[in-house]
């Protein structure tokens, strides 16, 4: 069954830059010394390649957990990216928005969950399905 997703547009009117350190860490916090500061990182620039075609959705459900997409994650979605085989997509299926992996087999389109508790959804002629975009990034809170 498709999940309910919250949709957001990016706010690009204000840039917020964060420190990006050049030293890598295996665990713990980066050194606070300024000599390790490489540059600043603007998350809008990092996550949003095409602002006019980008939107965000908040995930509701666990059908994609094996792809690293968890309940309450924020997905960055780009409508200009071609929805090809194997891509994680946002689709509207019979009026409900869902996130699934797109599979194309012969003349069939299958929306694949990434959780064994859910069944694949084979798109039939009597179903109304529209792909809204391709997921390009995920913001995951611990």
> What's the rounded Cα separation, in Å, for the pair 121 and 142?
29
Question: Catalytic residue among 13, 26, 63, 137, which?
Answer: 63
> What's the rounded Cα separation, in Å, for the pair 31 and 24?
9
Q: Is 100 an annotated catalytic residue?
A: yes
> What's the rounded Cα separation, in Å, for the pair 52 and 84?
21
Question: Catalytic residue among 4, 100, 104, 137, which?
Answer: 100
Catalytic residues: 63, 100
């Amino acid at each position: 069954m498709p999940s309910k997703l919250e949709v957001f547009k990016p706010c690009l009117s204000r840039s917020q830059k964060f420190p990006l350190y050049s030293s890598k860490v295996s665990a713990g916090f980066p050194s606070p010394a300024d000599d390790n500061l490489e540059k600043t990182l603007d998350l809008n620039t990092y996550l949003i390649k095409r602002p006019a075609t980008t939107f965000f959705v908040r995930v509701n459900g666990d059908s994609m957990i094996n792809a690293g997409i968890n309940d309450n994650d924020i997905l960055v979605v780009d409508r200009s990216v071609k929805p090809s085989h194997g891509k994680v997509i946002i689709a509207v299926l019979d009026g409900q928005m869902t996130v699934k992996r797109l599979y194309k087999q012969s003349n069939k389109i299958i929306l694949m969950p990434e959780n064994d508790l859910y069944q694949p959804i084979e798109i039939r002629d009597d179903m109304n399905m529209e792909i809204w975009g391709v997921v390009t990034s995920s913001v995951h809170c611990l």
